[in-house]
Amino acid sequence: MGKNKKIKFDFKNDIEPHEVLLDSLAKKREAELGLSEKKLEVPLLKKILQGLLIFSFILILILFGKTIQLQVVEGKNLSVLSEKNKFIIHQIQAERGVIYDKNLNQLVFNWPSFDLVCQNTDWENKNEEEKDKILKEISEITKKNFEELKQKIEEGEDLIVENLDHQTLIILETKIGELPGFRIEQNPIRYYPDGRTISHLIGYTGKIKSEELKAAPEFYTISDYIGRDGLEKSYEEILRKNPGKLKIERDAQGHIISKETIQLPESGKSLVLWLDSELQKKIQEELEKEIKIVGAKGGVAVALDPKTGGVLALVSYPSIDNNLFSKRISQEEWKEIEEDPLKPLFNRAIAGTYLTGSTIKPLIASAALEEKIISPEKKINAQGKILVQDQWNPEKIWEYKDWAVHGWTDIRKAIAQSVNVYFYTIGGGTEIKKGLAQQKSKNIWKNSAGIKKPELIFQEKLKALFPTKNGRKKPFLMIPDGGMAILIIFPSARDFYKLLLWK
- In degrees and rounded to multiples of 5, residue 442 shows phi and psi of -80, -10
- Return the pLDDT at 27: 65
The model carries a pTM of: 0.64
Cross-strand pairs, 263: 245
**Half-sphere exposure in the Cβ direction for 174 (13 Å, CA):** 6
Calculate the CA dihedral of residues 195, 198, 199, 200 and round it to 10 degrees: 170
For 357, residues 6+ apart whose C-beta sits below 8 A from its C-beta are none
Residues of the domain holding 496: 354-502
Same domain, 397 and 267: no
Q: Show which of 237, 272, 307 is a domain's final residue.
A: 272
**pLDDT band at 1; cut points 50, 70, 90:** very low
CATH classification at residue 466: 3.40.710.10
In a domain, 325, yes or no: no
CATH classification at residue 213: 3.90.1310.10
Region of residue 407 (left: phi > 0; alpha: psi -120 to 50; beta: else): left
Q: Is 231 helix (H, G, I), strand (E, B) or coil?
A: helix
- In degrees and rounded to multiples of 5, residue 179 shows phi and psi of -120, 70
Q: Show which of 218, 240, 272 is a domain's final residue.
A: 272
For 24, residues 6+ apart whose C-beta sits below 8 A from its C-beta are none
How far is Cα 416 from Cα 426, in angstroms, rounded to an integer?
17
The mean predicted confidence, pLDDT, of the chain is: 77
pLDDT digits (tens, 9 = 90+) for 52-79: 788 888 888 888 777 776 676 666 665 6
The answer, yes or no, to whether residue 187 has pLDDT greater than 50, is yes
Q: Show which of 272, 298, 313 is a domain's final residue.
A: 272
Calculate the CA dihedral of residues 271, 274, 278, 284 and round it to 10 degrees: -100
**pLDDT band at 184; cut points 50, 70, 90:** confident
DSSP code per residue over 158-217: SEEE-S--HHHHHHHHHHGGGSTTEEEEE--EEE-TTHHHHHHHH-EEEEPPHHHHHH-T
Q: Are 223 and 115 in contact (CB under 8 A)?
A: yes
Same domain, 267 and 362: no
In a domain, 66, yes or no: no
The answer, yes or no, to whether residue 45 has pLDDT greater than 80, is no
In a domain, 392, yes or no: yes
pLDDT digits (tens, 9 = 90+) for 126-170: 778 888 888 888 888 988 888 888 888 877 777 888 888 888 899
Q: What's the structural domain count of the chain?
A: 2
* Choice between 84 and 311, residue whose per-residue pLDDT is larger: 311
How far is Cα 25 from Cα 15, in angstroms, rounded to an integer?
16
Mean pLDDT within 111-136: 80
